[in-house]
C-alpha cells in the first residue's frame, strides 16, 4: 500500500510550532516579513495574499509593498534599499516573475543576504552549494522536510530530479546530494527520460508538465515527489505525476496538499530564522 505524504498535516504542525515560538518572544518587536509585488498579475496577487495570510496565522507581522507595473528599476532598487535598512523588517521577498523591463538578477542582488528569505541572492545560492548555513529556498526545503518526516532514507539512493530551474530543480538536487543520494538531473533536452524514470528509487517531478510521469514509466516501490501544479480539464488541481501512478509507489505526495503547503511553512521558518539572527546581532 502506497503511503500518502501529507504535506498539509506536516505544514500545520510546522506552523503551530512557529506560532508557539512567536508567542514565547519576549522582545518588544515581533518577526516581520516584507513582500514586494510589482504589477497586477492575478496569480502573483494570490501568492502574495496567501503568504500574508500565513504570516497572520502564526503571529508574524507582514507588510505588502505593491508597486505599479511600470516602476523603474532604480525606483524598485531604492524601495529595496529602504527595506534592507529598516531594522523592523527581518525578511524580504520579491514576488516573481517581475515585468519584463526589470532585471530580476539585479533585483535579487539588491536584497540584503541576511533578509533574503527566498534564498535567491547569489551569495545564499553559493552558500547552499558549499553546504554552509544559509536560507534554503522554501519549496526544496519543504520537500526535504517531508522526506525526513516520513523517515525515507536517501543515502545511496538513485534520485531523479526532473527540472533544472533556479527555483526548484537546482536547489533540490543540491540538497539531495547533501543527503548522500546519487542525483541525476533531467531537463527539457534529456534524450531518454523514460529510461531514467524507470531506474529511479525517488523521483522529484518539477518539469511543469501535467501528468508527465505515467505508471508504465516508473518502477514498483518508487517514492514520488510531485512539485507540479496544474489545472486539469475539469478545473481540478493536479501535478506532474498522473494519480494512476500512486498505487505503484511506496510513498507519494498528492496535489494539492503535498509539496505546496510545505512551501509556505518553510517561508515562515526562514522568516523566523532571519528574525532570530537579527535579534542576536543587536544583543549587547
Check binding of 167 to ligand NAD (CB under 6 A).
yes
**Cα 14 from Cα 277, distance rounded (Å):** 19
| Contact between 208 and ligand NAD per CB under 6 A | yes
186: cell is 533531467
Q: What are phi and psi of 282, to 5 degrees?
A: -90, 0
Stretch that binds ligand NAD, among 100-108, 149-157, 181-189, 267-275 (CB under 6 A): 181-189
Left, alpha or beta for 16 (phi > 0: left; psi -120 to 50: alpha)? alpha
Contact call for residue 164 and ligand NAD (CB under 6 A): yes
206 binding ligand NAD? (CB under 6 A): yes
Helix or strand run (H / E) with residue 71: none
Q: Min. distance of Cβ 239 from ligand NAD in angstroms? A: 8
Q: Is 89 left (phi over 0), alpha (psi -120 to 50) or beta?
A: beta
Nearest approach in angstroms of CB 143 to ligand NAD is 9
Q: Are 223 and 251 in contact (CB under 8 A)?
A: yes
Scanning 109-117, 161-169, 176-184, 217-225 for contacts with ligand NAD by CB under 6 A, the matching segment is 161-169
Q: How far is the CB of 86 from ligand NAD (least distance, A)?
A: 28
> Judged by CB under 6 A, does residue 207 bind ligand NAD?
yes
With CB under 6 A as the contact rule, which of the stretches 12-20, 78-86, 113-121, 200-208 interacts with ligand NAD?
200-208
Binder to ligand NAD among 124, 139, 174, 253 (CB under 6 A)? Answer: 139
- Minimum CB distance to ligand NAD, residue 69 (Å): 21
Return the residue nearest ligand NAD (CB atom).
165
Q: Can you tell me which of 187, 194, 231, 236 binds ligand NAD, judged by CB under 6 A?
A: 187
Contacting ligand NAD within 224-283 (CB under 6 A) = 227-229, 259-260, 263
Q: Are 74 and 56 in contact (CB under 8 A)?
A: no
Backbone angles phi, psi at 183, to 5 degrees: -105, 130
With beta carbons less than 8 A apart as the criterion, state whether 203 and 218 touch: yes
Distance CA 46, CA 275 (A): 25
Q: Which residues are catalytic?
A: 51, 95, 118
- CA distances from residue 245 to 41, 220, 222, 250 in whole angstroms, order as listed: 34, 9, 10, 10
User: Which residues are at the interface with ligand NAD (CB under 6 A)?
Assistant: 139, 162-165, 167-169, 186-188, 190, 193, 206-209, 212, 227-229, 259-260, 263
Amino acid at each position: 500500500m502506497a503511503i500518502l505524504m501529507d504535506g498539509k498535516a506536516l505544514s500545520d504542525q510546522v506552523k503551530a510550532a512557529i506560532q508557539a515560538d512567536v508567542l514565547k518572544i519576549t522582545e518588544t518587536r515581533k518577526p516581520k516579513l516584507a513582500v514586494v509585488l510589482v504589477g497586477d498579475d492575478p496569480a502573483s496577487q494570490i501568492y502574495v495574499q496567501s503568504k500574508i495570510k500565513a504570516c497572520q496565522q502564526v503571529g508574524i507581522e507582514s507588510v505588502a509593498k505593491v508597486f505599479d507595473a511600470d516602476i523603474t528599476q532604480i525606483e524598485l532598487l531604492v524601495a529595496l534599499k529602504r527595506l534592507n535598512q529598516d531594522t523592523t523588517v527581518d525578511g524580504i521577498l520579491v514576488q516573481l516573475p517581475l515585468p519584463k523591463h526589470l532585471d530580476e538578477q539585479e533585483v535579487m542582488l539588491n536584497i540584503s543576504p541576511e533578509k533574503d528569505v527566498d534564498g535567491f541572492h547569489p551569495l545564499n545560492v553559493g552558500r547552499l552549494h558549499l553546504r554552509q548555513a544559509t536560507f534554503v529556498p522554501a519549496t526544496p526545503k519543504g520537500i526535504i522536510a517531508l522526506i525526513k518526516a516520513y523517515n525515507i532514507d536517501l543515502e545511496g539512493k538513485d534520485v531523479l530530479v526532473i527540472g533544472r530551474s533556479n527555483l526548484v530543480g537546482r536547489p533540490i538536487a543540491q540538497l539531495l546530494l547533501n543527503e548522500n543520494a546519487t542525483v541525476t538531473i533531467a531537463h527539457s533536452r534529456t534524450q531518454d527520460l523514460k529510461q531514467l524514470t524507470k531506474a529511479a528509487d525517488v523521483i522529484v517531478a518539477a518539469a511543469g508538465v501535467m501528468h508527465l510521469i505515467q505508471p508504465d514509466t516508473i518502477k514498483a516501490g518508487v517514492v514520488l515527489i510531485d512539485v507540479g501544479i496544474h489545472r486539469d480539464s475539469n478545473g481540478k488541481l493536479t501535478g506532474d505525476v498522473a494519480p494512476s501512478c500512486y498505487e505503484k509507489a511506496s510513498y507519494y505526495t498528492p496535489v494539492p496538499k503535498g509539496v505546496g503547503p510545505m512551501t509556505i511553512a518553510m517561508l515562515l521558518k526562514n522568516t523566523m530564522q532571519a528574525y532570530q539572527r537579527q535579534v542576536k546581532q543587536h544583543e549587547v
